[in-house]
Amino acid sequence: MKISSSEDSFLLSDGNKIPCIGFGTFGLDNNKKGQDIIKTAISLGYRHFDTASLYGSEEILGKAIKASGVSRDELFLTSKVWKDDMAPGDIRKSFDRSLHALGTDYLDLLLIHWPRANENDEEWEEHLLMAWNTFIFLKQEGKVKSIGVSNFLPQHFDVIHSCSEKPVVNQIEFHPGYMQTGTVDYCQRHSIVVEAWSPLGRGALLNHPVVEEIAKKHKVSTAKVLLAFCLAHNVLPLVKSSSKERLKDNLSLFDFNLSEDDLYVLRGIAEKTGWSGQHPDLSIPKAKVGDF
Ligand code: A2P
């Protein structure tokens, strides 16, 4: 599906559509201030919101949606089940808590947030298989329209390969300094839409000289260069900002085109520039729901 406007969507392999730019709520102020930012984003035209049980932002997102007056069916809402809640009963409890906090009776997309609970879990494959089958049941029960995963590498997909439904999305860290080419290739070959978390390299790439030079050439912000970089690789960016001007700027990224040369130069940025330091198997976050 060709993406040429912020109102366009990616087609998921289950037939559903997902708006091509998402608003990420990780790290957002979880009180009135955060709620106001989301309200502003909705008023500017954002329709795709990404949250997680871990982030603590589901409630403010629910409140902002209610206050916005925009109807539920115009919005695309994603949430995630945290890695410590992967037992079938815990998944259902987490999911119900998410629905309640968001003030909705269904999700557009539910993701397994992390493939394994910790580095020492020798039974992670069994746990993952059980978790994914529970996700399939939730979908069959009509409580969630699409199901997917986050922070998965090809070896994690292997575990659930023979299940009756495949993940339609993999949300991973993606930016010029951490492109995860093997994983992106794997996903795209299997019709799994890749979503980018931290598409701006957690802010670290915004002042990178290579990005600055390209931004200057096109007379756009460095943020727009980085978001356009995602879309040029068929990766869906999840972007966040606390400023109305920047929120607006980030939505208007279709007024210029990155050339093949620009993309080549951006891909040459040193590996791990702006990297979070997180790895699905080797450096698993310790955070528990409620820590944020
Ligand atoms: P701010 O809230 O001050 O706008 P990432 O998504 O890679 O983790 O990076 C997010 C950070 O990038 C946010 O903290 C946000 O800060 C900043 N940001 C988002 N959009 C822009 C923009 N258009 N220009 C500059 N900084 C931006």
Q: What is the mean pLDDT of each run of 10 residues along the chain (292 residues)?
A: 90 98 94 95 98 96 97 98 96 98 98 93 94 98 98 97 97 98 98 98 95 98 98 97 96 95 98 93 75 50
Residue among 180, 131, 127 nearest 152 (CA)? 180
Q: What is the reported pLDDT for 60?
A: 97
pTM: 0.96
Ligand 1 atom nearest 246 alpha carbon: 23
Pairing of strands 48-50, 22-24: parallel
Cβ atoms of 193 and 236 closer than 8 Å: yes
Contact 128, 101 (CB under 8 A): no
The count of other CB atoms within 10 Å of the CB of residue 196 is 28
Q: What is the pLDDT of residue 239?
A: 97
Cα separation, 167 vs 169, in Å, equals: 6
User: Does the annotation count 55 as an active-site position?
Assistant: yes
Q: Assign 256 to helix, strand or coil.
A: coil
pLDDT for the residue 292: 46
Pair 73, 106: CB distance under 8 Å = no
Residues whose beta carbon lies within 6 Å of some atom of ligand 1: 198-203, 206, 221, 223, 239-243, 246, 249-250
DSSP 35: H
Largest distance between two CA atoms of the chain: 54
Which pLDDT value is given to residue 133? 98
- Between the CA of 240 and the centroid of ligand 1 the distance, in Å, is 6
Which pLDDT score, from 0 to 100, does residue 86 have?
94
